[in-house]
Structure 1
Amino acid sequence: MDTMTENDYLIAWGLYAFAALGCLLVWMRMTRWMWRWLREPLRLLMAVLLFSPTVVDPVKDKVAPALAIVALDVLFKVGNNVWRAASDLLMYGMIAFGLYLVIVLVRFPIERAANARKERAVAAKAAVAADEPEDEPPFGVAGDDRYGRPPVPSNPQRSRIEPRL
């Protein structure tokens, strides 16, 4: 049986990484409609499942995707790597969700402050709009009155309406 060379090993990992990235992008597209606090952990879980490596051959320092090792060992009932791969998946998952929790704890007060700032800006804009006189029309007559002179009654410009600046 021919053994895998270093070049074959790198090509296999490259192909797997490309396929896993495609699967992750499809998963992101599928979870796009979900509530944000559900969508982000599901995407993180999928990334951990797809990109977690586990040691297959400790002598040669060869690793493989942990999900693939678990699936093949359980499906074909061969090998004793299933527990090592499952523990690696659990370890990487705990690390990833711990980092995600830190990011959420940092992001949450920042977003609350930004939302409060937006609400204050909307309230200030509404207060300014409420202070403006409502009896003044937004468009005025563009006659001689805009220069401080009384309008001439027979002036044909009186029928022309322009916005006030």
Structure 2
Amino acid sequence: MNQNDYLIAWGVYAFAAIGCLWVAFKLTGWMWRYLREPLRVLVAVLLFSPTIIDPVKEQFAPAVAITALDLAFKVGTNVWRAVSDLAMYAMIAAGLYVIFALIRWPIEKSRKANQPPTAAEQAATEPADDEPYAPVDDNRYGRKPAPPPSASSRARVEPRL
């Protein structure tokens, strides 16, 4: 394999790995954020971590492929090197992700504190009526009738059943 073939093979692999990463992003899109992001980091590490296969020629190959092929064909010459490279890249990526998450956390906290409350949060803080659908003029059960709404108050209008 000459240098041109080597670069073409890496280009094809990079294109396929980007496609696999896109599929992983689509598959993890529905998950909880703090599970989704580490899984995406792990998939990126598995797809894009190289390991050396020939120290003399300085040729590299994807560490996952070397590990899978050496284990499948029971060759075992580069398995431990590939696994150690994967572990090293995974630790580096996990450390960078933790640093990124720790930097992002107070920024999001302050942004959330500065935002106006949503309609759901406002509804949760409003005092709840005991019987929101009770008729106003019904005095059958000994209740006092509700005072008529004033023009200045913005009382909500409930449907009559």
- TM-score w.r.t. structure 1 length? 0.72
Corresponding position of 2:103: 106
Structure 1 residue 137, shift from structure 2 partner? 9.1
Matches within 5 A, 1:88-103: 88-103=85-100
Letter aligned with residue 25 of structure 1: W
Letter aligned with residue 106 of structure 2: P
Corresponding position of 1:10: 7
Structure 1 residue 122, shift from structure 2 partner? 2.9
Corresponding position of 1:59: 56
| Identity percentage of aligned residues | 61
Q: Distance in 1 between matches of 2:70 and 2:92?
A: 24
Runs of 4+ in 1 over 6 A off after TM superposition: none
Question: In structure 2, the residue corresponding to 1:64 is in which secondary structure?
Answer: strand
Matches within 5 A, 1:5-44: 5-44=2-41
Q: In structure 1, which of residues 130, 135, 146 is the aligned counterpart of residue 151 of structure 2?
A: 135
Question: In structure 1, the residue corresponding to 2:95 is in which secondary structure?
Answer: helix
Larger Rg: 1
Corresponding position of 2:65: 68
- TM-score w.r.t. structure 2 length? 0.74
Specify which structure has the higher proportion of helix.
Answer: 1
Structure 1 residue 135, shift from structure 2 partner? 1.8
Letter aligned with residue 56 of structure 1: I
Structure 1 residue 78, shift from structure 2 partner? 1.2
Question: In structure 1, the residue corresponding to 2:92 is in which secondary structure?
Answer: helix
- Is residue 122 of structure 1 aligned with residue 117 of structure 2? yes
Question: In structure 2, the residue corresponding to 1:122 is in which secondary structure?
Answer: coil
Equivalent pairs counted in the alignment come to: 126
Any idea what the Cα deviations from partners look like across 1:49-74, whole Å, max 9, x if unmatched? 00000000000000000000000000
Q: Distance in 1 between matches of 2:88 and 2:117?
A: 46
